[in-house]
Amino acid sequence: MLTEHTLEQLRTLRLDGMLRAIEEQSTSTAAAELSFEDRLTMLVQREIAWRDNRRVARLLKAAKLKVSAACIEDIDWRTSRGLDRALVTALAGGDWIRHGRNLLITGATGCGKTWLACALAHQAVRGGFSALYVRAARLFEELKVAHGDGSFTRRLTQLAKLDVLVIDDFALSPIGAAERNDLLELLDDRVGTRSTIVTSQVPVRAWHTYLNDPTLADAILDRVVHSSHKIELKVGKSMRDNDGAAKA
């Protein structure tokens, strides 16, 4: 058994996973029969797993997902409302994020748009990507406040660094000139390098009309719709869980 001094040094180095593994090995007869190399390998692997789990937990907390428990393993394919299993499987791999592609999820209320967006963001976090969930109305309000207190540029820079930004309930309420300009600025910083998930009750084909400014609408849609993946969920029986969030 290692001395208390050595254990304290491991704590100072923040090797918490290795410490846990050492404690377990000290009471394991099976571990005692292993070679030094095998035991060391187990300690290192435990430390790596510990750090990975801590990082995922930290990223999940920062993501502020509306449905934090949503994950693609829980998708009910029996009531998938036209959800393409092959597409979801491909999205789960994360290449769309590595290539900076967007994902547009549309469908009627209660069909599972928010749940699916959170599940895919959760999967992204598990893959080591950063993410953030925000409702469109709150995002625009936040950017409006940022204009007032002088933090707009800094906030855009922060949003531009996120691997996955989930904008939920887009086109749910009227949009003004300030919101259109802010949306263009936000998307322009992310186009081709970062991924954005947009959910909306309004079909993508109607977004141009909703934006109500032909020039800005063309610019915005070019940045968010071009080369994006699209999921159009069909209307079906609502599958809202006890937390009030529809499940895909």
User: Strands across the sheet with 164-170, in order?
Assistant: 131-135, 164-170, 195-200, 103-106, 229-232
> Which CATH number does 64-232 carry?
3.40.50.300
pLDDT in tens, 156-195: 999 999 999 999 999 999 999 999 999 999 999 999 999 9
pLDDT, mean of residues 24-32:
71
223-247 burial, b if ≥16 CB within 10 A, otherwise e? Answer: bbbeebbebebeebeebeeeeebbb
pTM of the model: 0.81
Residue with tokens 């593994």: 21
User: What's the pLDDT at 239?
Assistant: 43
Q: Report the distance separating Cα 89 and Cα 81, nearest Å.
A: 16
With a pLDDT cut of 70, the percent of the chain lying above it is 89
Q: Is the predicted pLDDT of residue 245 greater than 80, yes or no?
A: no
Helices (H) and strands (E) in the chain, counts: 12, 5
pLDDT at position 244 is 47
- Assess contact for 247 and 241: CB atoms under 8 A: yes
Judged against a pLDDT cut of 80, whether residue 51 lies above it is answered with no
Whether 22 has a pLDDT exceeding 90, the answer reads no
Query: Where does the pLDDT of residue 55 fall: very low under 50, low under 70, confident under 90, or very high at 90 and above?
Result: confident
Domain boundaries, the chain: 4-61, 64-232
> What was the pLDDT predicted at 132?
98
pLDDT, the chain, mean:
88
- The listed range with the strongest mean pLDDT (28-37, 105-114, 129-138) is 129-138
Over residues 75-111, the pLDDT tens digits come to 988 776 789 999 999 999 999 999 999 999 999 998 9
